[in-house]
Structures are given as C-alpha cells and as structure tokens.
C-alpha cells in the first residue's frame, strides 16, 4: 500500500515539473517558450485533473497538504537560493550577474519589445514559479527525507541547468556560472529539505477516509 501511495505522489510530482519542462523543450527543440509552456501546462492540467478527481478523500487531503507545504518550502528555498547568489557575486567581486536571465525569460514570454522593467518582473515571477514547482515536486515524493535528500534533488537540478544554460545563453564566464550555481543550489536543497521535513512532521488533525490513494470505480462520484 505504501508503494502505491508513493507511485501516486511520484506521478503528481512529475506533473509539477511542467514549467521547467517547458523551458527545457524551448532550449533543446528551439520552440517558442510560449508554445512549449502552453503545451506542457495543458498536458499537465488535463492529466492532473483526471487523476485528482480519482483520489480518495484521505489521499486528497494528504496530497493537498504536501503541495501547500511544498509551496511554502519552495518560497523559502528560492529566496535563499537567490540571496546566496547575490551575496556570492557581491562578496566575490564577480563579473557574472546571474539575474540577467530574468528579463530574458520575460521577453521570451511577452515578446522582444517588452519594456525592461516589465520583462524583469515577469521573468522574476517565472523564476519563482519554477523554484516553487520544483519544491512541490520534491515535497510530494521526498519531503520527509531531510536535508540530504533535498540537497540530492538540488544537485539534479544543477546538472540539468549546467547542461542547458551555457550553450543557450552563449555564456563566457563558465567558471563563475558553475561556482555561483552550485553554491545557490546547495543552499536551495538544504533549505528545501529542512523546511519541508519540519512542516511535514508537525502534528495534524486526523481525517477520515479510505487509505487507498484512488477511489474504486464503483464509488467514484458518490460524494464519499
């Protein structure tokens, strides 16, 4: 039964990677970010809605609880990630400015003629959404495993980022990018692992419902 619950959490966790998957498709396939995001989000919403409606009451409550904890942990982790990178650049006197990617995101989403401030704001929001969605995916599957698991997840994200960003952005300062990126992801993973584990272990009210993650077909839609 526990393995079944884990498979369900894993499925929903994969769906939470839609925003990052859309960016990866844009970079690899050179498809418009608007189109790639629209396609990935549409696929996720459609398949997620079908699975969500089939959840039992107990599974629904647990999934919703983990998702909200993931949002909270993701906000803290993403802010810590950006603060770490900002401090590293300022203290280290580096020439590479990691936040230059924000207006790039914004113009990819809104158009090349988007004013700088608007592009920066929209890009920053997209960056935050990515950080939160990655955190929700982690929390659904591994949220109670602690900072080691959080760090491991962050290193997976680091590998993906380093494999895609340099060629996409035509970066010259690869050593600075790698140093800042690794440091930021280490902070992100540790904060994510600690916060999600702490919140998941807080006492909670017991909720009635079946222990099965999905409703049986014969009981679907009966309001139980």
pLDDT at residue 139, as a whole number: 96
Query: Which range, 23-37, 41-55, 205-219, is most confident?
Result: 23-37
- State the pLDDT confidence band at 215, using cuts at 50, 70 and 90: low
- State the pLDDT confidence band at 182, using cuts at 50, 70 and 90: very high
Is 221's pLDDT higher than 70? no
Whole-number Cα distances in Å, 118 to 79, 81, 127, 131, 170? 20, 22, 14, 20, 23
Residue at 50 is within a domain:
yes
Through-space distance between the first and last CA atoms of the chain, rounded to whole angstroms: 20
Dihedral of CA atoms 155, 156, 158, 160 in degrees, nearest 10, equals: 170
- State the pLDDT confidence band at 197, using cuts at 50, 70 and 90: very high
- Full residue range of the structural domain in which residue 188 is found: 2-204
Residue 55, strand partner residues: 214
Residue at 211 is within a domain:
no
pLDDT at residue 213, as a whole number: 54
Residue at 210 is within a domain:
no
Residue 200 near residue 70, CB atoms below 8 Å: no
- State the pLDDT confidence band at 1, using cuts at 50, 70 and 90: very low
- State the pLDDT confidence band at 44, using cuts at 50, 70 and 90: confident
- State the pLDDT confidence band at 205, using cuts at 50, 70 and 90: low
Is 153's pLDDT higher than 50? yes
Is 15's pLDDT higher than 80? yes
Residue at 129 is within a domain:
yes
Residue at 209 is within a domain:
no
Is 222's pLDDT higher than 60? no
Residue at 219 is within a domain:
no
Total domain count, the chain: 1
pLDDT at residue 34, as a whole number: 92
pLDDT at residue 4, as a whole number: 47
For residues 173-178, average pLDDT: 80
pLDDT at residue 207, as a whole number: 44
What is the rounded CA–CA span in Å between residue 16 and residue 125? 16
* pLDDT tens digit sequence for 82-129: 999 999 999 988 888 899 999 999 999 999 999 999 999 999 999 999
Share of the chain above pLDDT 90, in %: 57
Is 169's pLDDT higher than 80? yes
Residue at 86 is within a domain:
yes
Residue at 212 is within a domain:
no
What is the rounded CA–CA span in Å between residue 81 and residue 61? 30
């Amino acid at each position: 039964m526990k393995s079944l619950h884990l498979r369900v959490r894993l499925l929903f966790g994969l769906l939470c990677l839609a925003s990052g998957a859309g960016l990866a498709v844009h970079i690899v396939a050179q498809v418009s970010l608007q189109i790639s995001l629209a396609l990935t989000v549409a696929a996720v919403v459609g398949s997620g809605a079908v699975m969500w409606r089939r959840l039992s009451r107990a599974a629904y409550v647990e999934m919703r609880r983990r998702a909200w904890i993931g949002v909270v942990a993701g906000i803290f982790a993403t802010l810590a990630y950006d603060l770490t990178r900002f401090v590293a650049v300022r203290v280290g006197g580096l020439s590479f400015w990691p936040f230059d990617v924000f207006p790039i995101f914004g113009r990819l989403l809104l158009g090349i003629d988007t004013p700088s401030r608007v592009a920066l704001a929209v890009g920053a929001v997209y960056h935050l959404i990515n950080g939160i969605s990655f955190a929700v995916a982690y929390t659904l599957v591994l949220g109670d495993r602690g900072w080691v698991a959080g760090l491991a997840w962050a290193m997976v994200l680091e590998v993906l980022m380093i494999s895609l960003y340099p060629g996409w952005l035509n970066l010259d300062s690869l050593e600075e990018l790698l140093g800042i990126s690794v440091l930021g992801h280490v902070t992100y993973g540790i904060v994510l692992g600690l916060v999600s584990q702490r919140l998941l272990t807080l006492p909670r009210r017991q909720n009635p419902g079946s222990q099965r993650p999905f409703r049986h077909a014969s009981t679907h839609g009966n309001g139980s």
